[in-house]
Chains A and B, each alone.
Chain A
Amino acid sequence: MAATKKISLTEVDLVRALRGHETIAIQALYDMYSGALLGVISRIVQQPEVAEDLLQETFIKIWNSADSYDSSKGRLFTWMINVARNMAIDKLRSKDFRNANKNQDIENNVDFIDSQKKITFNADTLGLRDMVTALKPEFNDVLNMVYFKGYTHVEAAEELNLPLGTVKTRIRMAIMELRKHFN
């Protein structure tokens, strides 16, 4: 993980502390994952103020619904990312939000966010996305639509005019590329 983290606990300890409503748990989670979660949220909901509000709501939700996390069904951080993503997608699809953003093109979220001056990339991984994109652009586009733009894989298939099977294959290929890269 990144070198800037202040508190770091093992996942088992974190889950136990979170279930016990120990504030150290949420403190550790914030230190470890707030940047990553905000990265995911910000790519779905473009406005930084709204994204930060959502990050706050995400942490409160994680704090309040720790009991609904089942460690047998996946890692804690993945669960947290899904909570953050679902929250951002719900916001994106809410009526009041859509009305306020009619003039913005959702598809350009990623590039739009990246162009925002306020956003600072983690120095360790800067350029990674460019690298991945350069490797397999057609695979990565599908993954990014689902992971960073709030599309379902069915919507992505429709949008790209691709068979559902092809979309599934491309997501798998992109993730395999990522795994190769991170290992």
Chain B
Amino acid sequence: MEESKAYIETGILELYVLGQLNAQEQLEVEDMSVKYPEISKEINAIEIAMEKYAVSHSIKPTASLEKQIFDEIGATPAEQLPAATAGKIVPLHPDNSSSAIRTLRFALVACVALLLISVAALYSAHNKLNLANQQIASLSTDKEKFAATVSYIKDENKDLQEIAAISSDPTWIPVKLAGTKISPQANMMVYWHKKGQHVMVDNTKMALPENDASHQYQLWAMVDGKPVDLGVFDAQTQPKKLLLAMKEVGNAQAFAVTLEKRGGSVNPTMEKMVALGAVSI
């Protein structure tokens, strides 16, 4: 009661009736009038006062106006009025946005499809490239293997030709070394060019037990009863070279091979002599 009285005294109801309030203030007044019957009553009283005030200031319209107004209103069949009032809303400017949106939607779908195809193509290309790279790598490995083989065969061929040349050359003296007591199966061939002091070990005609990593065979020349070191060599099933050049010696009566520690010894270990052959002139 106190609240409604205070509200009435603010003068807002008068402004409401005079149409002076904004939409929000109007809603507020309407809410209050629903809440408080005395506010609703007050509004009604203000309205009646203002209506009477307006009536008291009446000005009689010209007599012809009435007919004019009813002619206008009567010209519109009453049944059609609601439809006419509702009206069909025709846009002032044709609205193309929906078709534009449809076009854009198609474009978007096309873009996504293209993107997916591109990704798939890229993935497949990437796979093929990887495969090609692997093939190239394996081919290049093969090529290197072949090149190594070719070069090895070339060297081998050169050595074989040299061996053939040495065999047929009378200035080279072939010395056959036979196995000793500790290794009767052993035998090997050494070529000696007395004049040029060259000594060659023929790996193709070598049959020595394979030496281990800590030992090597050492070739000696027997010069006037004394052993002269001619260098070390390995006995392998797959020798790197067919013909092995040793240290030079100009005078020798015999050649011997001992098994020594890797790198060779100053003096031969006689009990480890595996092969021996005298020079036959």
Q: Are B74 and A147 in contact, with the CB atoms below 8 A?
A: no
**B172 CB, nearest partner CB in chain A, Å:** 130
Residue B137, interface by CB 8 Å: no
Chain A contacts of B17 at CB under 8 A? 74, 78
**B250 CB, nearest partner CB in chain A, Å:** 134
Q: Are B47 and A75 in contact, with the CB atoms below 8 A?
A: yes
Q: Are B30 and A30 in contact, with the CB atoms below 8 A?
A: no
CA distance A5 to B47 in the complex (A): 20
Task: Return the contact of A52 from the options B18, B46, B52, B62 (Cβ within 8 A).
Answer: B62
Chain B contacts of A22 at CB under 8 A? 78
Residue B19, interface by CB 8 Å: yes
Residue B11, interface by CB 8 Å: yes
Residue A2, interface by CB 8 Å: yes
Binds A, one of B63-71, B105-113, B191-199, B265-273: B63-71
Instruction: List which A81-115 residues lie within 8 A (CB) of chain B.
Output: 81-82, 85-86, 113
Instruction: List which A12-29 residues lie within 8 A (CB) of chain B.
Output: 21-23, 26-27
Please, how many residues of chain A have a CB less than 8 angstroms from a CB on the other chain?
60
Chain A contacts of B15 at CB under 8 A? 153, 168, 171
Chain A contacts of B213 at CB under 8 A? none
Task: Kindly report which residue of chain A lies nearest to residue B40, judged by CB atoms.
Answer: A72
Residue B101, interface by CB 8 Å: no
Instruction: List which A146-183 residues lie within 8 A (CB) of chain B.
Output: 146-148, 152-153, 168-169, 171-172, 175, 178-179, 182
CA distance A27 to B70 in the complex (A): 8
Instruction: List which B22-76 residues lie within 8 A (CB) of chain A.
Output: 30, 34, 43-62, 65-66, 68-70, 72-74
Residue B98, interface by CB 8 Å: no
Q: Are B60 and A35 in contact, with the CB atoms below 8 A?
A: yes
**A52 CB, nearest partner CB in chain B, Å:** 5
Residue A10, interface by CB 8 Å: no
Q: Are B58 and A38 in contact, with the CB atoms below 8 A?
A: yes
Chain A contacts of B20 at CB under 8 A? 146, 152-153
Q: Are B65 and A175 in contact, with the CB atoms below 8 A?
A: no
Residue A134, interface by CB 8 Å: no
Chain B contacts of A40 at CB under 8 A? 54, 57
Task: Kindly report which residue of chain A lies nearest to residue B44, judged by CB atoms.
Answer: A75
Q: Are A59 and B69 in contact, with the CB atoms below 8 A?
A: yes
Chain B contacts of A122 at CB under 8 A? 55-58, 60
Chain B contacts of A86 at CB under 8 A? 19
Task: Kindly report which residue of chain A lies nearest to residue B53, judged by CB atoms.
Answer: A178
CA distance A40 to B44 in the complex (A): 20
CA distance A67 to B86 in the complex (A): 11
CA distance A34 to B68 in the complex (A): 13
- Given contacts A78-B47, A171-B14, A179-B45, whether A36 and B57 have CB atoms under 8 Å apart is yes
Chain A contacts of B34 at CB under 8 A? 72
Task: Kindly report which residue of chain B lies nearest to residue A81, judged by CB atoms.
Answer: B54
Q: Are A60 and B18 in contact, with the CB atoms below 8 A?
A: no
Chain B contacts of A128 at CB under 8 A? 56
Q: Are A39 and B85 in contact, with the CB atoms below 8 A?
A: no
**B49 CB, nearest partner CB in chain A, Å:** 4
Task: Return the contact of B58 from the options A35, A56, A72, A171 (Cβ within 8 A).
Answer: A35
Q: Which residue of A37, A60, A81, A113 has the most chain B CB atoms within 10 A of its CB atom?
A: A81
**B15 CB, nearest partner CB in chain A, Å:** 6
Residue B81, interface by CB 8 Å: yes
Q: Are B11 and A169 in contact, with the CB atoms below 8 A?
A: yes
Q: Mark A31-58, 1 if CB is under 8 A from B, else 0.
A: 0011111111011000000011001100
Residue B10, interface by CB 8 Å: yes
**B145 CB, nearest partner CB in chain A, Å:** 98
**A35 CB, nearest partner CB in chain B, Å:** 3
Q: Are B50 and A147 in contact, with the CB atoms below 8 A?
A: yes
Q: Are A73 and B30 in contact, with the CB atoms below 8 A?
A: yes
- Given contacts A78-B47, A86-B19, A172-B11, whether A36 and B70 have CB atoms under 8 Å apart is no
Chain A contacts of B14 at CB under 8 A? 168, 171-172, 175
Residue A136, interface by CB 8 Å: no
Chain A contacts of B60 at CB under 8 A? 35, 38, 120, 122
Chain A contacts of B9 at CB under 8 A? 172
A/B interface sample: 11 pairs, CB < 8 A? A2-B58, A34-B66, A35-B58, A52-B62, A59-B69, A60-B69, A119-B59, A153-B15, A171-B15, A172-B11, A182-B52
